[in-house]
Structure 1
């Protein structure tokens, strides 16, 4: 009986020692992983963040105005969530970012091809007349406000209207831009979106709420992004950043 007890104690000792060794070994592996690999094993949203980081690093901004990485990451997160929700096709690879926290004298619109990892267009873009002077400060989802709306949009069809060749936009953020279609918030060209206007007025001209682009670039930009692609108008508004369903890191569709 005594020998049996001794044998059981020995077996138990080696079994627990092996478990502790394996556990310690695993913890050591985790601890020594580079930070980007640590994030990969945590959550699905971290995988998306890592993908965004890799894409952003691969895009060359030589000869273009630089896009801030935090704006790109937010745009990419919303872009991925829109695809998960079926609002964008799974093979969608173009998105447009307007950073309205920047001066209107800067080229603050980027059209990015994620497959090619390149900037297709980098352009001036106007904000609404009642959104601000040189800088955008006030946003609205209300008709006749003459203000821009922030958030994610899906590009739709084109038409020729009072402002020439134009692109319809569907606002995807409830309460922030979902009245865009009724408000006729579209992308179009305008003569007041030009370096000459900036030289004379020390700011860009302003629209009635539309993201207006230079007249010469309107048709090529619109033809590139029309037909169910993503457009993101960014502004660091805390209520929007915390309230947009498309910026939830662990969005469940």
Structure 2
């Protein structure tokens, strides 16, 4: 990404950040091009088609509102991503939403090594926290990491994730994100806060998202809390670890970025 692209990305993020908070408190707009009015083949409403594929309603509503209140500012209106950290890591909790066809694809995605064992219970926007962060991200531009290969830049546009560039929070592939890893450890591998996905899917996801997409990192019990207390958010109580789950870090987990 060159200097002008970086500035353009920052400018867009600066415009979106205020509107990201607006989406939390107001109903969807009545724009002629409202995402709520978009229909798929057969004439059915896109929103309803996505709900029928078990996309959670609250974060889907937030994503649609983000598009409506930022009409013309988000280049990629064909795809968006929801990462539902309310779900344990053994589930495919990254939802790739095709906003033209209504198709939903799901993928495994890691959380930060200090965010929890099997569950994602603690989030942070602080540098060196090694935790995941909640909120909206703007994805644009790629680079080659010597540690993680092809990686997707993510600009956090909420107060709960606006240190993403400082923290080197990106989307990248990792060997510890696989069904085989889950079978051996009882959980998915941990990142240092990045959205690490399977190596076999990273190229596809980056190609789909790199031209100005939005990604929502969500937890049903903490997303609203993150607006009031943006630095750190945690669930009460200790995580209950099922028998057989490996609680130790394996070699290669949390590979970091450069």
When the two structures are superposed, what TM-score results if normalisation uses the length of structure 2?
A: 0.68
How far off its partner does 1:51 sit?
4.1
How far off its partner does 1:118 sit?
1.5
1:204 paired residue number: 188
In the TM superposition, what whole-angstrom CA distance separates every residue of 1:201-225 from its partner, at most 9, and x where no partner exists? 1111010000100011011111111
Q: Which has the higher helix share?
A: 1
When the two structures are superposed, what TM-score results if normalisation uses the length of structure 1?
A: 0.70
For the residue of structure 2 that corresponds to 1:56, the secondary structure is: helix
For the residue of structure 2 that corresponds to 1:182, the secondary structure is: coil
After TM superposition, the runs of 4+ consecutive aligned structure 1 residues lying more than 3 A away are 46-54, 59-62, 241-244
Q: Does 1:88 align with 2:74?
A: yes
Structure number, greater radius of gyration: 1
Q: Relative to 1, partners in 2 of residues 1:44 and 1:202: Cα closer, same or farther, differing over 3 Å?
A: closer
For the residue of structure 2 that corresponds to 1:213, the secondary structure is: strand
Q: Relative to 1, partners in 2 of residues 1:79 and 1:234: Cα closer, same or farther, differing over 3 Å?
A: farther
Maintained 8 Å contact 2:35/2:67 = no
How far off its partner does 1:59 sit?
3.5
- Residue in structure 1 matching 2:49, options 45, 58, 73: 58
User: C-alpha distance in 1, partners of 2:67/2:216?
Assistant: 9
Query: Unpaired runs of 5+ in structure 2?
Result: 1-25, 39-43, 231-258
User: C-alpha distance in 2, partners of 1:112/1:185?
Assistant: 21
Query: Unpaired runs of 5+ in structure 1?
Result: 1-42, 245-253
The aligned runs of 1:186-197 (5 Å cut-off) are 186-197=170-181
Q: Relative to 1, partners in 2 of residues 1:217 and 1:130: Cα closer, same or farther, differing over 3 Å?
A: same
